Amino acid sequence: MKAIAVRPGIPDSAHLVEMPKPSVNDIDGGRGVLVKVLRVGVDGTDKEINNAEYGAPPPGDDLLVIGHEGFGIVEETGPNVWELKKGDLVVATVRRPGTSIYDVIGTNDMTTDDTYYERGINLRHGFLSEYYVDDADYIVKVPDGLREVGVLLEPMTVVQKGITQAYEIQRRLRVWRPRRAAVLGAGTIGLLATLVLRLRGIEVVTFGRTAKPYMNSDLVEAIGAAYVSTAETGVAAYAEANGAFDIIFEATGYSPIAFEAMEALAKNGVLVLSSVTGGDKRVEVPADKINLDLVLGNRVIVGTVNANREYFESGVKDMAHAVLEYGDWLSRLLTHPVKGLENVAELFEKLTTAKGAIKVFCEVSA
């Protein structure tokens, strides 16, 4: 079968490869699920992997099949799989368990191991291939009604985890009624965070670099959130003028804004940081003031990465809710399809240069 792989360590090495088709018997205990891949989304992580800044092949291999935002259809199941059947639409989780206590209880996203295993990213092949096989424990069913937008589930889980973690943390307050939220970044993750916070009935201001109007600001406004360009007003200045935020979700990829966000947080507020920033940027910050406000206002800052099965399941529910509430809004995020694995060059060209791209994805099979 065909797949797209990189040679980790070598920049711009994404290319088409031929490899054996996997089988349900590759998985122990009769729990194998063979999935025919329909669509795979790509994101900044894939860009970094193809730039050789990130990512590692499975042990003993020098190629890594990329792609971690998979969406497919079950082709065959092993004898001990009862929860899925041929024809089900599915998405696989990304991280596989290590050895820490968090992995043992199924929360691989919270691993304390130094080595983590992520399909399409680190030490495990991904989903940009005609087929993949995995244990049913890692495969989540998507209802047929979400067929058009199912490829957005994996990025949605990153948002689900961050926001759920914020609510979990805020149980410390006995009562928490967040009213005002800020989302920093208006890319796929920022837009999905805007959506999820709106579905929770919260007022949302989404900050992006580009001046409005453009597609992303239209999408923000279409679900009743406000869009502010940081070229005009930074998040701290905005909060100073209009009131601070109970929850801030950071998804810009630009680490200095995290410190500015700390200054835009209301008393008892929570700041969720989700950008994976591999660089070495340094900034000067008003340390005493930030520290003082965090302390005197009982404020919280939390980092979040990856997502376990629980967040794939809640993501499906929010996507279904979004379709009922906002119609085709989710499908408007699917701006740049690329047909076929063989068009790997076009896939990366769109990912790196396409103007107005929100989600670039490969249509592996119809």
Q: Which residues bind ligand BGC (CB under 6 A)?
A: 43, 45, 68, 94, 118, 121, 154, 158, 276, 305-306
Contact 97/104 with Cβ under 8 angstroms?
A: yes
Written as six digits, the tokens of 131 are 């087929």
Question: Closest approach of Cβ 228 to ligand BGC, in Å?
Answer: 26
Mark 136-155 as b/e (b = at least 16 C-beta within 10 Å).
bbbbbbbeeebeebbbbbbb
Q: Are strands 226-229 and 203-208 parallel, antiparallel or unpaired?
A: parallel
Task: Name residue 131's beta-bridge partners.
Answer: 36
- Under a CB-based contact definition with an 8 Å cutoff, are residues 234 and 124 in contact? no
CB of 117 or CB of 245, closer to ligand BGC: 117
Separation between Cα atoms, residue 317 and residue 312, nearest integer Å: 9
- Measured from the CB atom, the residue of 238 and 311 that comes closer to ligand BGC is 311
Q: Which helix (H) or strand (E) holds 189?
A: helix 188-199
| Binding range to Zn ion, per CB under 5 A, among 38-46, 240-248, 275-283, 312-320 | 38-46
From the list ligand BGC, Zn ion, none, pick the one residue 276 interacts with, judged by a Cβ distance below 5 to 8 Å according to partner type.
ligand BGC
In angstroms, give the least distance from the CB of 182 to Zn ion: 22
Select the residue interacting with Zn ion from 45, 129, 160, 304 (CB under 5 A). Answer: 45
**Contact indicator for 58, 125 with CB cutoff of 8 Å:** yes
Among candidates 83, 62, 87, 84, which has minimal Cα distance to 75?
A: 87
**Per CB under 5 A, which region of 39-47, 106-114, 132-140, 294-302 contacts Zn ion?**
39-47
Minimum CB distance to ligand BGC, residue 172 (Å): 26
Q: Of these partners, ligand BGC, Zn ion, none, which one is at the site of residue 285 (CB under 5 to 8 Å by kind)?
A: none
Q: Between 230 and 274, whose beta carbon lies closer to Zn ion?
A: 274
Q: How far apart are CA 209 and CA 253, in angstroms?
A: 12
What SS3 string covers 308-332? CHHHHHHHHHHHHHHHHHHCCCHHH
Q: How far is the CB of 264 from ligand BGC (least distance, A)?
A: 25
- Exactly one of 27, 43, 183, 228 binds Zn ion (CB under 5 A); that residue is 43
DSSP string, 12-31: T--EEEE-PPP-GGGSGGG-
Question: Min. distance of Cβ 138 from ligand BGC in angstroms?
Answer: 12
Query: CB-wise, 190 or 269, nearer to ligand BGC?
Result: 190
Work out what residue 305 binds among Zn ion, ligand BGC, none; the CB cut-off runs from 5 to 8 Å by kind. ligand BGC
Which parts of this chain interact with Zn ion (CB under 5 A)? Answer: 43, 45
